[in-house]
Amino acid sequence: MIAESFSFPEINSILRWQDLFVSFNKIALIAVAAGVIGIAVFLLAGRKDASKAPKGVRNLAETSVEFIENGIVMQTMGKDGLGWTPFLLSLFVFIYLCNVPGIIPLIQMPATARMAIPMFLALLVWVIYNGVGLKHQGIKYLTNTIWPPGVPVALKPLVGIIEFISNIIVRPFSLTVRLFANMLAGHILLVTFALLTQSLITAETMQLMLKPMAILPFGMLVFLTAFEVLVAFLQAYIFTILTAVYIGGAAHPEH
Amino acid sequence: MHSAVVHLHGSLVHLVSAAAEETVSKDPGPIVPELKELYWSIGSFVVFALLMRFWLFPKLKKGMDARYEGIRSAHESADAERSSARAEVADYEAQVAAIKAEAAREVEAARSTLEAERQAKLTEVNAKLSAQRAAAAAEAQAEREASRDQIHSAVADVAGLAGELATGRRPSADVVTKVVSEVMAR
């Protein structure tokens, strides 16, 4: 009787990475690469002849600009929000480039599956939309936030608590957790099916049917990898569009 | 260290939690952010966002706007050209219609003139024909009258001679002439 086993790795071993050099690990590398790639793409795009029909890297950059302008800003903030396009574009590109390494062979780690990036970006968005609210509405922003117009006086204490928790506390938390948890779950799923495939292929067993059954977790691995392509885009889009909604809502409370 | 063990035992696959056997990990929880990751992320994003805001995006957008403006002005220019061409075509068609109307008027006037001239010629020719026909008729009548007189005279001579031969005396010329005239008048 043969008993071959594998140990599912300890969770930190698939999330925490050793330093490549002092205070610089794989997550930091991906974050820096995301920034550098984003800068390089838009730098190269800006050097191409703008008078001709865009192609290649310029086409990619212009498509992403139009996607942010038409697909996010105009839909959520209107024409007044076009000034926010550079920030939202940076946000979308940075998150997407941090998500995508989760499915790139040899890297296979989304930087957003660690808490640092989602938390920082969510806090930044929180500071920005509250700042925008105070700038546009003054001190009334605080009362408008916790007491939406038309709330009966009797309900104000209850609604005030709910809205305060919802708008001030839960929003950054939900922004963080949505991005972090989705990318972490995807990463763990990929690790699980990859290890299961490997363990079935290398299993020392008398049961001849066991090895061919590795095709099942391998199929799931391929499917989930393709699915993660969609998730990487979708999570960047959701984070960006929610940011636009929050900023637009703070700037124009009547919306 | 928390871990799980999958035993492939014959065809039996079962998952065994090994948590109870493990010692408590000294590592921070998996959701605790690491400061170094935070610093590098903040640095990368802030640099990227600032460059995007003040340099990369404006440069790209300026080019996009210039091209869109070029396309828009080209569209407007094309629209103006199209309107101008349509106006020219309309003007040309109006001129063609005016020329056609003028030509039709002139053709009609020529036709009227020609008809009048034809009618005049026809009348003139008919008048000539009538005159010639009348002259011919008069001439024929005169010829007929002359022939009649000659016949009358010849018949009167023959009749007078015949009477003389039958009776031995020549009948009166007046009677013969009267008789011949009555016979020829029948």
Tens digits of per-residue pLDDT, A2-31?
A: 345 667 788 877 887 777 888 888 999 999
Nearest CA to A183 among A90, A106, A108?
A108
Does residue B164 lie within any of the structural domains?
yes
Does residue B137 lie within any of the structural domains?
yes
Domain with B51, as residue range(s), is: 39-185
Does residue B1 lie within any of the structural domains?
no
Q: Which residues of A touch B36 (CB under 8 A)?
A: 19, 23-25, 28
Q: What is the ipTM of this complex?
A: 0.91
- CB atoms B11 and A209 under 8 Å: yes
Please tell me which residue of chain A has the smallest CA distance to B53: A86
| Average pLDDT along chain A | 90
Is the model more confident about A138 or about B30? Answer: A138
Mean pLDDT within B30-59: 94
Tally the domains of chain B.
Answer: 1
List, as ranges, residues 201-220 from A with C-beta within 8 Å of B: 203, 205-207, 209-210
Provide the pLDDT for residue A145. Answer: 86
Residue A40 touches partner B, C-beta closer than 8 Å: no
Provide the pLDDT for residue B8. Answer: 42
Does residue B140 lie within any of the structural domains?
yes
Mean pLDDT within B56-74: 93
Does residue B178 lie within any of the structural domains?
yes
Does residue B61 lie within any of the structural domains?
yes
| Strand partners of residue A21 | A24
Residue A191 touches partner B, C-beta closer than 8 Å: no
Does residue B8 lie within any of the structural domains?
no
Does residue B62 lie within any of the structural domains?
yes
